[in-house]
Amino acid sequence: MKLLKHALAAAVVATVPFVAQAQVAGGTVLGVTETVSARLANGWSVKKAILGESVYNDANKSEEVGKVDDIIIDTEGYVSYAIVNASKYLGLSSHLVAVPVEQFKVENGHIVLPGVTKEGLRNVPKFEYAKAKK
């Protein structure tokens, strides 16, 4: 029993310096400044707010022209394209098209593609992912 008490005391003493030096979440700088953190807090979560969301025509807000299927990030680390599924029957087939992100607008919480119709988007050539080099 005495040996167990000494072992526990030694274990507690051994962990004290580590507890005092434990890092708090957000305490380590990983190249992210407060300015960047503030911009991130005001940005969009791709998974929660963009992927799978409907894309609408600006003239007819009830006309869904497709759904956001993916987001493409270029080699510089910038979001460059949104991949929109413009298939005639969503879920049964896919007609993926790449649309530059500058062409999108957000109006009243809806993703809008000004001047685009369902038919017009379906006439855009299909997007195909590049094969990854191994």
Kindly state whether residues 90 and 110 are assigned to the same domain. Answer: yes
Domain count along the chain: 2
Structural domain that includes position 8 = 2-37
Of residues 62, 45, 43, 46, the one with CA closest to residue 54: 62
CA gap 81, 75 in Å, rounded: 12
Q: What is the pLDDT along the chain (134 residues), one digit of tens a residue?
A: 333 333 333 333 343 343 444 444 445 555 556 665 565 566 667 788 899 999 999 888 788 999 999 999 999 999 999 999 998 765 667 899 999 999 999 998 899 999 999 899 999 999 999 887 76
73 plus 109 within the same structural domain: yes
The reply to whether 130 falls in a domain is no
Compute the distance between CA of residue 117 and CA of residue 48 in angstroms, rounded to an integer.
25
56 within some domain:
yes
pLDDT the model gives residue 6: 36
Q: Based on the domain organization, do 28 and 85 belong to the same domain? A: no
User: 113 with 73, same domain?
Assistant: yes
12 and 57 share a domain?
Answer: no
Q: Is residue 74 part of a domain?
A: yes
* Residue 14 lies inside a defined structural domain of this protein: yes
Residues 104/82, Cβ–Cβ less than 8 Å: yes
Task: Examine the domain organization and report whether 15 and 74 are in the same domain.
Answer: no
Does residue 109 sit in the same domain as residue 83?
Answer: yes
